[in-house]
Structure formats: C-alpha cells, structure tokens
Amino acid sequence: MRIGDAAAAAGTTPRALRFYEERGLLPPPPRTTTGQRDYGARDVARVRVIRELLALGLTVEDVRHCSDRLDLLADGAPRQCAAPAGRGAGNEGVAARRLAALDAEIARLTRLREQLAARIAGPASAR
C-alpha cells in the first residue's frame, strides 16, 4: 500500500512514516517501479507499536535502541522483548529505565507539590 494508505491504517501521517524511517525506527520499505514506498501489513503493525511506545512516554531515541525487537511487540510477544545480555545500562532494558525516570519525576513533582501546598497554607496550618 502507498504511504498515505499505510499512514491512515496506522493512525498517523505520511510525514510521521518518513520521520520513523529517517530515525531508524522503521526499515525502508520496498519501492514500486515508479519509486513510491510500498508498505505491507507488517509495516503498519510496527508503526502502531512505535506510536504506542511513544504515547507511553518513551522517546524516539528509546524506541530506536530497541527497534530490532519492535516486530516482537507487533506479534504480541512482549515478554520476549527484554534487552539481550550485554545491552543497555545494567541489562535493565529501555522500558525499565524509562519507568525509573518516570518514578523519579513523579517523586520530584510530589515534593514540589508538597512544598507549594505548605507555602500556600502558611503559618495558620502549623497551629
């Protein structure tokens, strides 16, 4: 299918597909005799996985680091997508590192909220 059809099927835009290809998230699809990109159902499934991971808070760089395992997620085998031995910081994997970063940010924001709430409450709340 052409880029517009593939983008529509994946819920995105042709520009996003080109961007994913440029960033190494999506392998270059075969070309037609006229030079147009020719996407298949597997490509569309991969783009859906990419979009889902990005929506969950992973960065393009995070997804690029595990791009060799995206097809496993598209096939519905998430447990097989852990980082292989020797990859990633401490072998914890991209998703685990992102979860740790989110937990740290939640803790920082919680502290900030508590400080602001205490400031707003002022001395009257200390009685």
Q: For residue range 23-72, what is the model confidence (pLDDT) as tens digits?
A: 999 999 999 999 999 999 999 999 999 999 999 888 999 899 888 888 88
3-state secondary structure of 47: helix
Read off the tokens for 108.
Answer: 């920082």
The pTM is what? 0.72
Of the pLDDT bands very low, low, confident and very high (cuts 50, 70, 90), residue 115 is very high
**CA distances from residue 84 to 7, 17, 45, 93, 116 in whole angstroms, order as listed:** 31, 27, 23, 8, 43
Residues facing 37 on adjacent strands: 31
What confidence score (pLDDT) does residue 98 get? 86
Q: Which whole number is the average pLDDT over 96-104?
A: 90
Across 75-79, average pLDDT:
62
Closest CA to 43 of 79, 66, 18: 18
Tell me: pLDDT of 87 over 70: no
More confident residue, 12 or 125: 12
Determine the pLDDT at residue 15.
97
Residue scoring higher pLDDT (72 or 2)? 2
Between 29 and 80, name the one with better pLDDT. Answer: 29
